[in-house]
Copies of this chain bind each other. A is one copy, B any other.
């Protein structure tokens, strides 16, 4: 597409993000997820599990004891970011994040997990805890499934702001758009990149 129409571009952005859940070549499949932590900002790669334009929601899951969770409990604002080196596009999505442990959101996502992913939650010691030797910390026999389930959390961000950047081969091709949710729709404008 030619990037010169704000409505068409917004359509393209959401199509791209929603494709991230299934298309492994997409930059939103494993985006950077930034939070505010006690030592300043923090960022790590997460796996996008659900994306929905209608609800503006992006979802990943993680160990409920990880530092992402404690950081989000303190500061729920988060940014998801993907950089597609092939198409030279950057996607930045800011929103408010909620944590789901024992509600229906968490139960539905837990039920959808394949067996090999359940394994990640069979860790008696929390992520970040010192370990005597290199290893995953997974010990299926040491804890039962109910405890593994308690180690599981779903993280859901409702997007309020979208920043999109295109970097051409020629510096003069560069362009940037910024969208803000006004309660009804995303209002877009071009900005200097």
Interface residues of A (CB under 8 A from B): 3-4, 30, 32, 34-36, 39-45, 75, 77-79, 81, 83, 85, 90, 92, 94, 116-117, 119-120, 123, 125-138, 170-178, 189-193
Task: Return chain B residues, CB-CB under 8 Å to A191.
Answer: 127-131
A39-B77, A135-B175, A136-B192 given; 9 more Cβ-contact pairs under 8 Å: A32-B83, A36-B41, A41-B75, A41-B77, A44-B90, A126-B192, A128-B178, A131-B189, A133-B190
List 12 A–B pairs whose Cβ atoms lie within 8 Å, in order of A's numbering.
A3-B134, A34-B43, A35-B40, A41-B75, A41-B77, A43-B92, A119-B171, A128-B192, A130-B191, A131-B191, A132-B190, A137-B193
A131→B189 CA distance, assembly (Å): 8
CB <8 Å contact, A43 and B45: no
* Contact partner, A190, options B75, B135, B172, Cβ 8 Å: B135
Residue of B nearest to A45 (CB): B83
Task: Return chain B residues, CB-CB under 8 Å to A132.
Answer: 190
* Contact partner, A34, options B34, B85, B131, B170, Cβ 8 Å: B34
Identify which of A119, A137, A189 gathers the most chain B CB atoms within 10 Å of its CB: A137
* Contact partner, A44, options B92, B128, B134, Cβ 8 Å: B92
CB <8 Å contact, A137 and B40: no
A136→B3 CA distance, assembly (Å): 12
A132→B133 CA distance, assembly (Å): 58
A173→B136 CA distance, assembly (Å): 6
* Contact partner, A172, options B44, B78, B138, Cβ 8 Å: B138
CB <8 Å contact, A41 and B79: yes
Task: Return chain B residues, CB-CB under 8 Å to A189.
Answer: 130-131
CB <8 Å contact, B36 and A175: no
A177→B133 CA distance, assembly (Å): 10
